[in-house]
Chain A
Amino acid sequence: DVKVTQSSRYLVKRTGEKVFLECVQDMDHENMFWYRQDPGLGLRLIYFSYDVKMKEKGDIPEGYSVSREKKERFSLILESASTNQTSMYLCASSLSGGQNTGELFFGEGSRLTVL
């Protein structure tokens, strides 16, 4: 089974802190995604990556950056956390090319609270 692991289930940070959210997948997937989920807004795409060192902005990239130095790992960085970044963050991965079945595999989520 595909496993997507997010490093922390719950984090509490202070305004202005730098925050790293780590995500690792074990199925050699090319595509990786970061979403945030807020009540009534669904999942909103922050960034995605289709290959090592490649990244594309999603719909709400402001205040975030990402890093993909290795195929299995995709990190989300909040350079200076703000209270409006309090949210559930979900990482996902998928296959690329002709093997893609449309399925995204999600991690369990990281609930970030910024005080």
Chain B
Amino acid sequence: GQSLEQPSEVTAVEGAIVQINCTYQTSGFYGLSWYQQHDGGAPTFLSYNALDGLEETGRFSSFLSRSDSYGYLLLQELQMKDSASYFCAVRGGGFKTIFGAGTRLFVKA
């Protein structure tokens, strides 16, 4: 079967660094994406890793290890507005894309 595992909830304080992990088991793998979703809003794209290594985009970085079927999203200098749900997603064959159950991030002052 296909599955993505990520923690259901993470809490951190403003200004801190938080890492959200994602492990996957899928048939066919082309890349790992991360999305942010605020309550009542649509998911918005954050990053995509097709190759092993770290991708940095401002305060957000994403890492992939294909051999370990593992990736993570790193959020630095946390702000209150980062409180949201974060989803990892795997792009498989034929552009089929499946999502994890999401991680709820709470940022405290």
Contact = CB atoms under 8 A, between A and B. Distances in A.
A109 B101 contact: no
Interface of A: 31, 33, 35, 40-45, 48, 50, 56, 58-59, 90, 94, 96, 100-109
Contacts of B18: none
Contacts of B91: 100, 102
B109 interface: no
A28 to B, nearest CB: 15
Contacts of B99: 35, 42-45
Interface residues of B, number: 25
Interface in B3-45: 8, 30-31, 33, 35, 41-45
A44 B97 CA distance: 10
Given A96-B95, A102-B45, A106-B43, 10 more contacts: A40-B101, A50-B95, A90-B42, A90-B43, A100-B91, A102-B48, A102-B50, A103-B48, A104-B97, A106-B44
Interface in B68-102: 87, 89, 91, 94-102
Given A101-B48, A102-B50, A108-B42, A43 B95 contact: no
A48 B100 CA distance: 17
A103 B8 contact: no
Contact of A43 (B8, B48, B87, B96): B87
A59 B97 contact: no
* Interchain residue pairs A-B with the least CB separation, the first 3: A102-B48, A42-B101, A43-B99
